[in-house]
Structure 1
Amino acid sequence: MATATRALGVEVIGASKSFGAFRALDDVTLKVAPGTVHALLGENGAGKSTLVKGLVGYGVLDEGDILADGREVHIASPRDAQALGIGMVYQHFTLAAGLTVEENLVLARGKLPWRIDWTAERTALEAFMRQMPFRLELAAPVSSLAAGEKQKLEILKQLYLQQRFLILDEPTSVLTPQEADEVLGLMRALASRGELTVLMITHKFREVMAYADNVTVLRKGRFVGTCAVADTDRDRLATWMMGSDASAETREGATEDTGEARIARRPHSPDAPVRLALSNLSVVDDRGHAAVREASLSVRAGEILGLAGVSGNGQKELIEALVGQRKVESGEMSVEGAPYAATREAMTRLSVYALPEEPLRNACVAGMSVAENMALRDFDRAPLRRWGWRLDRRAMRARAEGLIAEFNVRPPLPERAIGTLSGGNVQRAVLARELGQAVNVLIVANPVFGLDFASVADIHARILAARNAGAAVLLVSEDLDELLELADRIVVMAEGRLVYETVASEADRVVLGRHMAGHGDEGNAQAAETAVLHASA
């Protein structure tokens, strides 16, 4: 490790924080050495957010001491943190959408003169941008940026403020593989040169093993362990996070609560019947602009087709068209060869089911009970409807109890409002409703975004089980690791078009990332030129 010259070392000793009777942090100690990249792992509710909020001044700790460069400090507000050189890049954007890139960067400084010399500011910003591995157009409105570009701007903003200690909250969730490597490579390089210390919250073991020096794990508000990354492995970290024997088998299909056996992937037949087909499908966004452009694809029975792409490239509009939330402009959709109009009646008749992104907003009624939400598909049919009009609530509750037990929804209370459940349990409840019967087509969008470790393993196992049972699964995800783990084939969407397809087992991250960034043709041309040069030599 390089000798730190400017990077800030931070230590938290005996940190505790309560919200009423709930103990969010309980005597947690964390030491982040200057000039290092330190990963912070833990499931949802482990206390990670509470801890870092104490460091950036958004939630003063009830107990505990904070040391910066060995000196005790008091952080009561974000201004205190910024004065110490502590900054944070949040999982959710904090940009002013109505302003330009350069305006966001300048305004981030806080204290500004009454009259800003924009010529001088622009000159300084251009010099700053030339030092960065990725650049943004200074005059571009933030509202015009894709999600990946917004994430880059959040990081650039903190680097522009010359912070000495940077907290990254899931920093690569909306980036292509190349962009992720650029960002984390930059963090790694700055830390190695002693210019910056990085505390990285992530759920991706690959990022921890590739870029972090040290790692700390929290569980249920308490410190579990810390060690050098070189002295550990994925299974050990998973065991720390889960609190039990979290072997690779557990990570790939079982859950701590259910003890289910790992779901084995059944061989997929390339001659299986096509269950879902799109032909030259076009869809527009809310502003009337083309979002999906003449997309054609097919998904066969017993297959998971993964759809990769950086957020904002038409995936959202495609899913909305498939589940009946957005009108199709042109083209055709079919299920088992029959025209498919994405109406409730068609979805029921053709056995099309879905787990859309953010299910609490897109697939549930938060104020209704778990049992009522589980009945949204068939409340108007027997056995839930009796005597032509009456809703049989006893039958509704009995059915919900069975699904809750089968899909491990916690707490197991049918009358509980679904909006009070954790994210993972909302997902389980929706999956229980959607997979509680025979399924021809399953449409899934970012199913585990923001969920804890156990929920991810459980939901992945459910999706794979549906595929093994013969369902055709269209899996849209911004997490390339998820697609590589679950999919049989992967297609890439860029600027609304399907631009690349590969068998998942033969996929190359670099090639996928190049197409995700819209540089597929350029990459092919470069490859061809390289081949010609080698041939000439």
Structure 2
Amino acid sequence: MTAPLDPALQPQPKTGALALSTYQLTKRFGSFTALDHVSIDVRPGTVHALLGENGAGKSTLVKAIVGYHQPDDGAVLIDGREHAITSPVVARHLGIGMVYQHFTVVPGMTVAENLLLAKGELPAIVPWRKVRQELEAFMATTPFKLDLDARPMDLSAGEKQKLEILKQLFLKPRLLILDEPTSVLTPQEADEVLGALRDRAHAGEVSVIMISHKFREVMEVADDVSVLRRGQLMGSHRVAETTPALLGAEMMGLSAGASTAAAVAAEEMPREPFPEAPLRLRVKQLSVAGDRGERAVHELSLQVRGGEVVGIAGVSGNGQRELMEALVGQRDRESGEVWMADERYHARREQNQRLNVRSLPEEPLRNACVGDLSVALNMGLRRFDQAPVARLGWMRASLLRDKARELITAYKVKTQGENAAIRSLSGGNVQRAVLARELDGQVDVLLVSNPVFGLDFAAVAEIHSRIMAVRNKGGAVLLVSEDLDELLKLADRIVVMSEGRIVHECDARDADRHVLGAFMGGAHHHHPVAEAA
């Protein structure tokens, strides 16, 4: 190692889009290889998408590039020269900026103060007049506008995401890395943000790496795409020379033919018609408070019939989570009524049993499982105190274990056996175990939240077909999802929630993505849809 140069002798950092290559980049965590000899090339002035399922290694790769992880092997090259990026500070000095999925804005500070903080220097006395001119000049060049005096609590989730991107652009990066930048944006905002960044890249100001799992986004915005699967690079392509079917095949590790068949099978969900089905779930004027006592759901009314999937669309944070928690009994209701069939519903266990109400909450390990208990006991949580499992107050563990084994096989749950603690399972397998428990037997009403978040393709297809099977047997399904494609595929009707209200409703077959997007963005929140309940 040579001694570091005197900073005065160091060349001034270059500007403009840089070329970045990783060479055989490898990262292990204990015995787990998160990145396995991955080599990608980001051409200067392009948008390079990293596509892959959760856990494919996308985040590990970019964290190695920005100096959060030190690779065990391989190298990062910038403009053809190898650099040891030992920390995010070094990455920033080289002109690399990253926008994370989690917001890092400081809540009490204005947009202007947050931008200044991004530079890492907030002097005790800020020369505001000079700074203000600098920030206004910067804002004049930016792809989207935010009020410099607004505070994060006044900003929507989408505006916070834009602030995160502006903070990085303020540092004039030569390479900008975005981790799932559109997960909190409406389709319109996503087009605006990604289009603006692509224009900047094509003007030669910056190179962009974008982590995504949305094919549509990649096909529309990126120049190049690299597909990762289980830590390995499956392929890199010019976007113009590939198709979603081929990329999907690489993501799943399938041959192209197999994937297209799987994709077609997934798209063609068989639907039974139910002309005269009874109303199974009625929500009347329901109001629910959020975690900080604010009103999260405003006098919301909706109905679901047997044999119908009603999808709730909306950008995360618009009351969907609080609505579902209030329905399943995890959150108090302020006012309003919920009816199942012809009975007022209070989400008690006894009612769930009798009325065949089941739920698949978000983050099932946290919300629907007891982590330290075995898979068998978690699968038995609905029936451990009922005959035939419980006799004279004694729980018959052997029956519970037999039932669990049967469900483990039927739902393809990968586990070390029915006695393993449920927290030892992967996310997809926890989800399958909860699903097995909830969908076993007659289901009249199913309440589901983001059922496939973070799961691999095979698990997604399986869970979707199980949800459709409940509908096709005449059950009523209420499905909350932040993934519009999932709703368009599964739902019969779609309602859009914005700021705790239903602002739009349509038949899923006639749904227009951009119309839904406009309502999701709150474009029409002054005209709530009146619904007779």
TM above 0.5, yes or no, is yes
Q: 1:531 corresponds to which residue?
A: none
Q: CA deviation at 1:341?
A: 1.3
In 2, distance between residues paired with 1:93 and 1:355?
27
Deviation readout 1:24-52 (Å, 9 max, x if unpaired): 22211111101111111223332222211
Deviation readout 1:114-173 (Å, 9 max, x if unpaired): 432234333333333344343333333324543323222222221122212111111111
In 2, distance between residues paired with 1:405 and 1:146?
44
Q: CA deviation at 1:520?
A: 2.2
Q: CA deviation at 1:263?
A: 6.8
**8 A Cα contact 1:263 1:465, kept in partner:** no
**8 A Cα contact 2:379 2:437, kept in partner:** yes
Name which of 498, 504, 509 aligns with 1:500. Answer: 504
Change (3 A) 1:60 1:217: same
SS at 1:154 equivalent:
helix
Map of 1:83-122 to 2, 5 A cutoff? 83-122=93-132
Q: 2:86 corresponds to which residue?
A: 76
Q: CA deviation at 1:437?
A: 1.6
Among the aligned pairs, what percent are the same residue? 59
Name which of 7, 17, 37 aligns with 2:27. Answer: 17
Q: 1:533 corresponds to which residue?
A: none
Q: 1:323 corresponds to which residue?
A: 328
1:415 matched to 2:427? The reply is no
1:229 matched to 2:248? The reply is no
Structure 1 gaps of 5+ residues are 255-261, 525-537
In 1, distance between residues paired with 2:403 and 2:154?
47
1:290 matched to 2:290? The reply is no
In 2, distance between residues paired with 1:404 and 1:5?
56
SS at 2:428 equivalent:
helix
Q: 2:166 corresponds to which residue?
A: 156
**8 A Cα contact 1:129 1:135, kept in partner:** yes
In 1, distance between residues paired with 2:499 and 2:136?
28
Name which of 482, 495, 503 aligns with 2:486. Answer: 482
Q: 1:169 corresponds to which residue?
A: 179
Q: Name whichever of 152-161 and 227-236 sits farther off.
A: 152-161
In 2, distance between residues paired with 1:99 and 1:363?
37
**8 A Cα contact 1:353 1:435, kept in partner:** yes
TM-score by length of 1: 0.91
Q: CA deviation at 1:253?
A: 5.7
1:445 matched to 2:470? The reply is no
1:361 matched to 2:374? The reply is no
In 2, distance between residues paired with 1:389 and 1:286?
38
1:426 matched to 2:430? The reply is yes
Residue 427 of structure 1 aligns to which amino acid in structure 2? Q
Q: Name whichever of 456-465 and 505-514 sits farther off.
A: 456-465
In 2, distance between residues paired with 1:55 and 1:398?
49
Q: CA RMSD in A?
A: 2.2
In 2, distance between residues paired with 1:361 and 1:95?
27
Deviation readout 1:73-125 (Å, 9 max, x if unpaired): 11010001111111112222233334333322211111343432234333333
**8 A Cα contact 1:514 1:523, kept in partner:** no
In 2, distance between residues paired with 1:31 and 1:280?
55
In 2, distance between residues paired with 1:249 and 1:173?
28
Residue 442 of structure 1 aligns to which amino acid in structure 2? L
SS at 1:247 equivalent:
helix
In 2, distance between residues paired with 1:516 and 1:214?
30
Q: CA deviation at 1:406?
A: 1.1
**8 A Cα contact 1:353 1:441, kept in partner:** yes
Deviation readout 1:256-309 (Å, 9 max, x if unpaired): xxxxxx873214335321111111111122333222111111111111111111
SS at 2:173 equivalent:
coil
Q: 1:45 corresponds to which residue?
A: 55
Residue 33 of structure 2 aligns to which amino acid in structure 1? R
Change (3 A) 1:400 1:490: same
Change (3 A) 1:446 1:495: same
Change (3 A) 1:475 1:81: same
In 1, distance between residues paired with 2:279 and 2:152?
41
In 1, distance between residues paired with 2:340 and 2:354?
10
Change (3 A) 1:214 1:493: same
In 1, distance between residues paired with 2:34 and 2:337?
51
**8 A Cα contact 1:177 1:480, kept in partner:** no
Name which of 514, 521, 528 aligns with 1:517. Answer: 521
Map of 1:47-446 to 2, 5 A cutoff? 47-245=57-255, 246-251=258-263, 264-386=269-391, 388-411=392-415, 413-446=417-450
SS at 1:248 equivalent:
helix
Change (3 A) 1:455 1:82: farther
Q: Name whichever of 288-297 and 245-254 sits farther off.
A: 245-254
Number of residues of Structure 1 aligned to a counterpart in Structure 2: 513
Q: 2:466 corresponds to which residue?
A: 462
Structure 2 gaps of 5+ residues are 1-13, 529-533
SS at 1:481 equivalent:
helix
**8 A Cα contact 1:252 1:457, kept in partner:** no
Q: CA deviation at 1:205?
A: 0.7
SS at 1:520 equivalent:
coil
